[in-house]
Each structure stands twice: as structure tokens, then as C-alpha cells.
Structure 1
């Protein structure tokens, strides 16, 4: 059963899908229009799931599940993954992008996680650059507590700043 994103409890489980490029406003609307009925009918072994979906920053799609009602199962998680495969094929977008996203002014850019050291050494990332720390977040509250952090605070990046700015 679909509920408004702002009614999701802070302890809800979330999944973050990162697009491999910036979404247009029309694509974001299309994604929302696709996901609302899909989430509305989402179930785990026949049990209704109380959930929501939202596009953030025209780059990320968040699925949030209130597990106080019912928890997801492997099959229901597979179903949600299928949504993003289908959307990706339709819109020519990879929602399983694992690059490092960061703010460059008002724009979200990415680089390969295998190029983290180079991104710091070249000045692409500064200690105060805001990055999207971890797309494997588990709780809704993590979106406002630790998803967007300064690059120097990221466990995967801080060691490179020590060497570069020492």
C-alpha cells in the first residue's frame, strides 16, 4: 500500500537507487508515475507492504518500507529490483550505478570509486565537498543523518586527505 513519503517513519527500511546520469524533470515524473502503482500493489508472500517512493535530487530514487506493518521478503525485494531494471530499459538509465556521487556547486557529478585517491589528489574533491556517502543505507533516518557528508568525513576517502593536506 502506497503512502506519502513524508509519512514514512524514521525507522523504515530504505533502498537507494542511483541513476548513472541526471534525470530530467519529465523522467522523474515518469518514474514516480510508474512506481506509485507498483508500490501500491507491493506484497511479501501475499501480505501488503506499506511503502513509498521518491526521486531525490533528480539522481536518486528511494524506496521506503514501513516494516512495522510487514517486512519485505526476498521475493518482494526481487520484485522491486525488477521495477528498476524495467524503468532502466524504458528510459535508458542504469539505476544500479555504483560510482561516487558528489555536489559540484548545485550539480551532482560522479567518479569511479576506483579513482577516489586520484579525485582527492587532483583537487576534484576538497575536504568540504559534500558527497553522498553510502547508498546502502538501511533506515529512513539515515537520509538526513549521514547520507550527505563532507568528503573528509567519509571512511573511504579520509585517508587520502590526510596524505594530501598534511
Structure 2
């Protein structure tokens, strides 16, 4: 099984930031270990907003220490780029033109009330844990998401 962690930033990266973040992610992943064993992992930036880590646990299993290392690394990215990856108060969705929008929860609620966000609006399900789910369960209609239960 390939396990994933999806971190949504609190703002869209510039193209230059995406390149720089990806370079640092590559360096981190190449040295990422669990109890001394190299992890078969990769990291990538998606839509200049999401940082995704993936590990093939059939090669070597992830441990609490290896997860701590990744969190420490992400916190270093936050400081270096003045970006937050642990702000759960922002919601990403696709607008009518399919562009990604990032708003805070109160604004998202208002968009629902006004009908701009509706049952078919695509939202991002960042709580996935398996890489096989990315294609079919990451960008999903609002009505099928955890968001619909909260808002």
C-alpha cells in the first residue's frame, strides 16, 4: 500500500516558490528514514497549493519517528517561505471556471448560503491516506465530501 499525507497551504505558491519547495522536498525525501531504513517515498507539489508525501509501505513501513521528521521538515518550509501548512481553517474548492479558490471557513459558509458553492462544487478531500484514492476521491463534489456534513 502506498500511504499519503496531503498538506494544504494557507496560500497559493508562486511558480518560483513551487520550484524551490519541490527542490527541498526532493532533498528531504532522499534522506527520509524509519529506524535507519530508507523509505520508498516521494513528495510533490500539486496546483501550487498542496504538498503531498507518498510512501510505499511494502518497501519499509512508516514510523512515528519518520512522521515526526516529515512534520519537522514541513515546519521548516513554513518558516522559509512564510506559508502555513497546518491551518485547517481554509477551504479549497473549484469555482465555476474550474479555478482553485482558497477561502476561510466563514467565507465558505457564506458562499454556500449564496449558492455559489453548491452540491456539485468540487472540493478537496485532504484526509485521504492511500495514494490509490487520489484520482477518484480527492477532488469530489461537495455533496459527497466531509465538508457537506460540517457546513
User: Do they fold alike, i.e. is TM over 0.5?
Assistant: yes
- Counterpart position of 2:65: 75
CA shift, 1:143, in A, is: 0.8
Is it true that 1:91 corresponds to 2:81 in the alignment? Answer: yes
Deviates more, 1:55-64 or 1:102-111: 102-111
Runs of 4 or more, structure 1, over 4 Å off, are 114-117
**Residues 114 and 73 of structure 1: is their aligned pair in 2 closer, same or farther, counting only changes over 3 Å?**
farther
Query: Structure 2: which 5+ residue stretches go unaligned?
Result: none
**What are the superposed Cα offsets for residues 60-116 of structure 1, whole Å, 9 maximum, x if unpaired?**
010000001111111110100111100110100001132221012243222334665
- Select 1:48's aligned residue among 38, 51, 64: 38
1:47-66 matched pairs, under 5 angstroms:
47-66=37-56
Q: For 1:31 and 1:22, locate their aligned partners in 2 and report how far apart those are by CA, in whole Å.
A: 12
Q: Say how many residue pairs are matched.
A: 149
Give the unaligned 5+ runs of structure 1.
Answer: 1-10, 161-166
Compute the TM-score of the two structures, normalised by the length of structure 1. 0.82
TM-score by length of 2: 0.90
Counterpart pick for 1:152 among 114, 124, 143: 143
